[in-house]
A = this chain, B = another copy of it.
Amino acid sequence: MPKLGMEPIRRAALVDATITEIGENGTLDVTVSQIAKRAGMSSALAHHYFGSKEQIFIAAMRHTLSLYGAGVRGALAMTKGPRGRIEAIIRAGFSTTNFRREVVAAWLNFYVLAQANSEARALLLIYQNRMRSNFVHDLRQLVGMRAEGTAERIAGLIDGLYLREALGREVPSGEEATRQVLEALDLEIGFAK
């Protein structure tokens, strides 16, 4: 029965299951058995591949972050000009892939994880810094020396809308959120409406 080369498949299945499970329960308070069951294997196997529950979480977080990063890069590749680039980053964050209930719940819980786990914190900081430096770079050409402040506010607003979405009962509306952030962006760069 043992097919060889299962490791990557099992790992991926566990990571997926972890995010779904966190999303469904809204907490990191999920058992390895739950995750393993959803991924279609025994909890022993999950431990075999990841060593500990914490490492499963970290892997799930890495995956979420890298999905997000890929979305941003993809969007950026097709765009030119500072304003367009910023808009692309914003849109990527609220795309249907990223702005889903389970993913939002996972993000929220990753913030909690980052409070206690320095590896998790480091990952989140990398993501934050990358986003900030992207914004600052492009904003410089639009708002000059106000770039830093504007970047903080736009990034902060994005995070805030994510957080608020975590509370809503409905399916997240990426369009609505995108509109809000773009509106704030336009105010910042002085497109009077």
Which of A38-46, A58-66, A180-188 contacts the other chain? A180-188
Which listed residue (B25, B111, B167) contacts A108, Cβ 8 A?
B111
Interface size counted on chain A using CB atoms at 8 A: 37
What B residues does A111 contact at CB under 8 A? 108, 163, 166-167
Q: How far is the CA of A26 from the CA of B114 in the complex (A)?
A: 8
Q: Are B167 and A156 in contact (CB under 8 A)?
A: no
For A104, give the chain B residue with the smallest CB separation.
B115
Q: Are A116 and B161 in contact (CB under 8 A)?
A: no
List residues of A (20-70) whose CB comes within 8 Å of B's CBs. 25-29
Q: Closest Cβ of chain B: how far from A161's Cβ, in Å?
A: 5
Q: Closest Cβ of chain B: how far from A115's Cβ, in Å?
A: 2
Q: How far is the CA of A77 from the CA of B163 in the complex (A)?
A: 29
Q: Closest Cβ of chain B: how far from A177's Cβ, in Å?
A: 9
What B residues does A124 contact at CB under 8 A? 167
A164 within 8 A of B: yes
Q: Are B149 and A159 in contact (CB under 8 A)?
A: no
Tell me whether A26 and B180 are in contact in the complex, defined as CB-CB below 8 angstroms, given that A159-B164, A163-B159, A167-B128 are known contacts: no
What B residues does A163 contact at CB under 8 A? 111, 159-160, 163
List residues of A (152-191) whose CB comes within 8 Å of B's CBs. 152-153, 155-164, 166-167, 180, 183-184, 187-188
A18 within 8 A of B: no
Which listed residue (B27, B125, B149, B155) contacts A115, Cβ 8 A?
B27
Which listed residue (B28, B125, B156, B159) contacts A180, Cβ 8 A?
B156
Seed contacts A153-B157, A157-B157, A157-B160; 11 additional CB < 8 Å A-B pairs: A25-B115, A26-B115, A27-B116, A108-B108, A108-B111, A121-B167, A125-B167, A155-B160, A156-B160, A157-B184, A160-B163
